[in-house]
């Protein structure tokens, strides 16, 4: 069984000062009340145009972002690349309504694709469709694409052109590109556009990836339906599989609009759906490529065991693991040290413009107490190890009380399709 507890491997790329700052940051975001206050204060500061950059950049920004520009990310790309960890440059500006901003976002994404084409340590590209289109427009076309005015038809074509330009360039230079998932209110539109791009560019291999959020109650059935469609037209289906990042927002919106919540009732159901989707993809890997985007140790270990059981090489280019910069280094760097392909999402953009992303990261960490506890325990263990100046194998850090015993994980992995994730 792969050991994810080696903190020397996990944090070798970080200085002691950087680890101490990370410990402070995770302590802060582990307090939900503090995150809530910080969110409202930040939004107010942005509203009155208070200069927040000097306070944000050396703290939460430096923890979760690579820099304000593509070039600013070079140090991060080089540093983690030295440990065989790739970078996925993510221009994390979202939710704008102006066409000029959409063109600017598209240009920044295009530059990340071009940089990836010439940089071995950048194996993938990524973008959000909400970055190149209005949120309100995506919500409008989510279920009513056949009911557009002449101006809206023109806007739709402009959005498709921006997206096609990005996917076409990725295809030309051979860089797989991930289309991120977003709110339920616009996801149908995103799924439809992602399918159009797959039909054009995924004939020989999966270059365009759509993102499936396992916290959606309908996503396993959706995955199976998409698989059948892809087989019928003879394309490879690219999936970035994640749990989801809009839980509270989705529940509140469903209650406000009067429709059933689209997401699972609890984390256990989400975890089960995630693992079920993962097994299904691995069982049908001849038709898929998979990016497993997770900070969950159990799911990571299950996939490595499935690969071993099915004789799938560690460096099979159809499977890659991914985590966010600033989180779950114990997963990222221990995977890499054991020969698995893995990459970090490296967000970048002007401090003020990436604040929605940073607020979401803080909320995510404050709402997943077990995960934040785990990060803190690992960091504290490594700081103690360094203080003791020992090169011997220390006792492993305390296990997260929410983490299942590894023997149980192995047992679960060895059950053949326990939840109906049968091959097609």
> For residue 64, is it within any domain?
no
d(CA 133, CA 96): 8
d(CA 250, CA 253): 5
> For residue 53, is it within any domain?
no
> For residue 271, is it within any domain?
yes
pLDDT tens sequence for the chain (424 residues): 899 999 999 999 999 999 999 898 888 777 766 667 666 667 666 665 777 777 778 888 898 899 999 999 999 999 999 999 999 999 988 667 788 889 999 999 999 999 999 999 999 999 999 999 999 999 999 988 778 899 999 999 999 999 999 999 999 999 999 999 999 999 999 999 999 999 999 999 999 999 999 999 999 999 999 999 999 999 999 999 999 877 778 888 898 889 999 999 998 999 999 999 999 999 999 999 999 999 999 999 999 999 999 999 999 999 999 999 999 999 999 999 999 999 999 999 998 888 877 777 766 665 555 677 888 899 999 999 999 975 555 555 555 544 444 444 434 434 333 344 444 5
**Degrees to nearest 5, angle at CA 377 with 372 and 379:** 95
Rg, C-alpha atoms of the chain? 21
**What is the structure's pLDDT at 15?**
94
The alpha carbon of residue 128 and the mean position of all alpha carbons in its chain are separated, in whole angstroms, by: 11
> For residue 239, is it within any domain?
yes
d(CA 310, CA 314): 11
- List beta partners, residue 209: 178, 238
Give residue 98's domain range: 70-364
CB atoms within 10 A of CB 116: 25
> 8 to each of 84, 207, 370, 397, how far by Cα in Å?
16, 35, 22, 12
CA contacts within 13 A on the Cβ side of 149: 4
DSSP assigned state of 72: G
**Number of domain units in the chain:** 1
**What is the structure's pLDDT at 189?**
96
CATH code, domain carrying 211: 3.20.20.220
> For residue 125, is it within any domain?
yes
DSSP-derived secondary structure for 273-330: HHHHHHHHHHHTGGGEEEEEE---HHHHHHHHHHHHHTT--TT-TTEEEEEETTS-HH
The closest alpha carbon to 212, from 274, 260, 263, belongs to: 274
What's the per-residue H, E or C state across 107-153? Answer: HHHHHHHHHHHCCCCCCCEEECHHHCCCHHHHHHHCCCCCCCCHHHH
**What is the structure's pLDDT at 367?**
57
Q: What are phi and psi of 88, to 5 degrees?
A: -115, 100
Contact at 8 Å (CB) between 381 and 397? Answer: yes
**Degrees to nearest 5, angle at CA 405 with 403 and 406:** 110
- State pTM to two decimals: 0.88
Q: Is the dihedral of CA 227, 233, 235, 240 positive or negative?
A: negative
DSSP assigned state of 58: I
Q: What are phi and psi of 49, to 5 degrees?
A: 60, 40
Contact at 8 Å (CB) between 210 and 238? Answer: yes
Instruction: List b or e across 191-206, with b for residues whose CB sees 16 or more CB atoms inside 10 angstroms.
Output: bebbbebbeebbeeeb
d(CA 314, CA 113): 25
């Amino acid at each position: 069984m792969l050991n994810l507890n080696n903190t020397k491997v996990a944090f070798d790329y970080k200085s002691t000062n950087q680890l101490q700052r990370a410990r402070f940051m995770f302590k802060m975001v582990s307090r939900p009340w503090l995150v809530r206050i910080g969110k409202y204060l930040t939004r107010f500061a942005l509203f009155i145009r208070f200069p927040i950059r000097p306070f944000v950049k050396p703290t939460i920004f430096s923890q979760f972002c690579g820099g304000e520009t593509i070039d600013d990310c070079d140090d991060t790309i080089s540093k983690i690349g030295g440990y065989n960890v790739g970078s996925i440059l993510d221009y994390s500006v979202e939710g704008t309504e102006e066409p000029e901003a959409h063109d600017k976002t598209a240009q920044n994404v295009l530059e990340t694709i071009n940089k990836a084409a010439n940089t071995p340590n950048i194996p993938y590209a990524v973008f959000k469709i909400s970055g190149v289109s209005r949120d309100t427009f995506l919500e409008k076309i989510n279920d009513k694409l056949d009911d557009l005015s002449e101006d809206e038809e023109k806007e739709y074509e402009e959005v498709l052109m921006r997206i096609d330009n990005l996917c076409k360039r990725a295809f030309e230079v051979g860089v797989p590109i991930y289309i991120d998932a977003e709110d339920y209110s616009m996801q149908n539109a995103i799924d439809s556009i992602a399918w159009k791009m797959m039909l054009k560019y995924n004939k020989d291999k999966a270059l365009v990836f759509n993102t499936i959020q396992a916290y959606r109650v309908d996503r396993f059935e959706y995955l199976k339906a998409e698989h059948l469609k892809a087989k019928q037209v003879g394309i490879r289906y690219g999936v970035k599989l994640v749990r989801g990042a809009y839980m509270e927002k989705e529940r509140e919106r469903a209650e406000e609009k009067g429709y059933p919540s689209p997401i699972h009732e609890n984390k256990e159901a989400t975890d089960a759906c995630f693992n079920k989707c993962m097994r299904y993809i691995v069982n049908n890997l001849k038709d898929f490529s998979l990016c497993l985007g997770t900070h969950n140790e159990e799911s990571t270990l299950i996939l490595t065991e499935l690969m071993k059981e099915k004789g799938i090489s560690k460096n099979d280019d159809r499977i890659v693991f991914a985590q966010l910069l600033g989180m779950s280094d114990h997963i990222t760097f221990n995977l890499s040290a054991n020969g698995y392909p893995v990459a970090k999402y490296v967000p970048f953009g002007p401090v003020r413009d990436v604040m929605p992303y940073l607020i979401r990261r803080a909320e995510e960490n404050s709402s997943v107490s077990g995960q934040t506890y785990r990060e803190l325990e690992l960091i504290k263990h490594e700081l103690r190890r360094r203080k003791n100046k020992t090169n011997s194998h220390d006792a492993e850090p305390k296990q997260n009380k929410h983490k299942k015993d590894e023997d149980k994980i192995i047992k679960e992995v060895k059950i053949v399709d326990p939840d109906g994730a049968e091959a097609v």
